[in-house]
Structure formats: structure tokens, C-alpha cells
Structure 1
Amino acid sequence: MIKLNNLSLDFAGNVIFRNISLQINKSDRIGLIGNNGSGKTTFLNLLSKINIPTDGTISKDNNLKIAHLPQELSFNSNVRLKEFVVGLNSEIIELDKRIDKINNMLSKVESEKKQFKLLDELEEIQYKKDKINILKLEINAEKIMKGLGFEDTDFIKNINNFSGGWKMRAELSRLLVLKPEILLLDE
């Protein structure tokens, strides 16, 4: 799944890693153990492509989904927990904007031909949105959140109202909803 070949990393003239080769296969569970400052977080950042190696290669299977839960989170999101976890992604937001725009245009267009064209476009957009299957996504997200200790009443709370530990659980929930094949957890 992921193969590291002679991976090296230097930071500000200091050697962090030298010539690491490793293969991570499906269903492997790997723990990195080391002192503070020994490079565990940096190594995970390499795997998630936050950092770039000085030398060597990282190759992975095509379409491999990797999710990374960093050691520290910075939240600047003013949404409810459930929206955050489900991840009303930019694709859904764009589709909703197009639906609103077409509905607005429909109320102003008088030509039947143009109305039919707009209705066809609206149907196509709705089909794309249905394909994403938001309801199934929400049900799965709720199961995951409950499994991590959230209550039903938490789903409507603003994400910024949670403590750091609960925000970490929210982020983990969001990552699990994505169904990654590899999950990188930093402490």
C-alpha cells in the first residue's frame, strides 16, 4: 500500500532520518515509539505529505485514502458538530448554490423553452447531490460520533463550544466518516 525507499529528511542542517525503507501493507498496525523530539510527528507528516523528504521516495497505491489526525488541532469553524463531522464539503455547497441560482432564475424566466432547460439542469444537479447520499452519510456519522462518546444532544452544538479533547474526538469522527484505508494518529 505504502512503500518508503531510502527516505531521508534534514531540517535546518540537522539529520532527522537517514535511509529509511519500509513497506506498510493492508491491515498493518504500526506504532512509533520514541522520546519527545525524536521525529515521530515529522515522520507522520511525511506520510501525509505535509512535509517533503530530502531524499528517497514514498510511493502508494492509486486512490489510497490516507487520513491524518495531528497532535494539535486548530479549529476556526463556526458549524455544528454534525455538520463538521459529515463534512458538508465544497461539492455539496456548490451544488446547493447552483440549485438556489436556478430556482431564482426559474421565477424570472417566461419562456417555456428556457424553463424546461433550467428544469433539466436542476434535475441533473439533484441527481449529483443524491448520488452523494447525504442521509446515509449522516447516519454513519452519528454512529461513529456515538461510538466516540458523543450524545444526540451534542450533534447540534457549535464545534467551538467543545473542549480540546472533545474537538479531537470530533476530528477523529470526521476522519472515520471518510473511511480511510490508512489512519495516521499522532498521540
Structure 2
Amino acid sequence: MLLFHTVVNSADFSAPLIVLPFNEALEDSAGYKISARVTDDGGIETVSLHYRTIGSEDDFQVIPLVPDRSEGFYSAVLPADQLLRPGIEYYVEAKDRASNISQEPFPDQPRQVFYASAQAPVKTGDAGSSTKKWWWIGLGVLATGALLAAANNDGGDSGDTGATLSIEAPAP
């Protein structure tokens, strides 16, 4: 009787799972702790925080998040002198032992944390601009329909082969 013993290693193709808790607002003259719960079946190799001032076009600064006392939690404290107004934007990146990487949130849509005394920026614009846009779209559809109807040759001998439509309106 022959017995074969085979060792099977399963490949790890799943990236770490990152969960970010709700963040409190920044306070004047106080450091700011950022935490993340990071888990992976194969084990975590590194967890890093990528942060910068909100609105900055500079590259993100990177610091390691270190294991906290609670299992699966990683954290770092940003010194108060690095926290400029209006606040910070950040994301967390984790790499497991199989070199799978995940980011939360995505770097092009980082999480933002504002100072308690600062208000989040409000997108401004003309409140009626959406209505105007739809008015112009409707007018364009009507004009196109009128041109197509006028250019339609119904088989008669009218001799007219084209149509002109002029629309004068104020600029939107």
C-alpha cells in the first residue's frame, strides 16, 4: 500500500479589509488620533496613513499606523503643529503578507476632517443654473425637431430643398 502526502498551500489573493470609524472634528492646539481596524486572514504586514491639508495639491505625507491595544486596530497621532486649517484629508493603506494592498477611502476621494470652528466648504453657484440648463436642452430638442420636419421631403414638388431656423435668446 502506497500513501502519498501532499502539502497544499493556498494562495492569498484577498487584500486586507480596512474599516475607518467616525472621526471627531479637529480641535485647536491638540493632536489628532486616527484609528483604523485592519484585518486579513494571512496577516498584516504594514498599515500606513497618507494625509495632507484639505485643498492642498501637495503629495500626501505618509506615516505608519501602529498596532493599538485592541486586536486589529492600528493608530497614529498627528501633532497639532501639522494640522493646518481648514483641516486634513487622508486615506489608510494596508498591505498583507502576500503583498495584497487595499486603500480606504480611495486616494482621489480622501476622507476629510475639519476643525470644529471651521465649516465645510459649500459649493456655490447660481441656484437657477440647473433650470436654465434644462431649458436650453429643451429648446435644442425643439429646434432640431423643427429643422428635421422642415427638411423632410414629402414627395411633393414644392421646389424648396432646405429650411432656416433662427433662435435669438440671451446667453445662459
TM-score > 0.5 by shorter chain? no
Q: Under a length normalisation based on structure 2, what TM-score does the superposition of the two structures give?
A: 0.24
Which gives a bigger RCO, structure 1 or 2 (Cα 8 Å, sep 6+)?
1
Greater strand proportion: 2
TM-score, normalization by structure 1: 0.23
Relative to total residues, which structure has the larger helix share, 1 or 2? 1
Larger Rg: 2
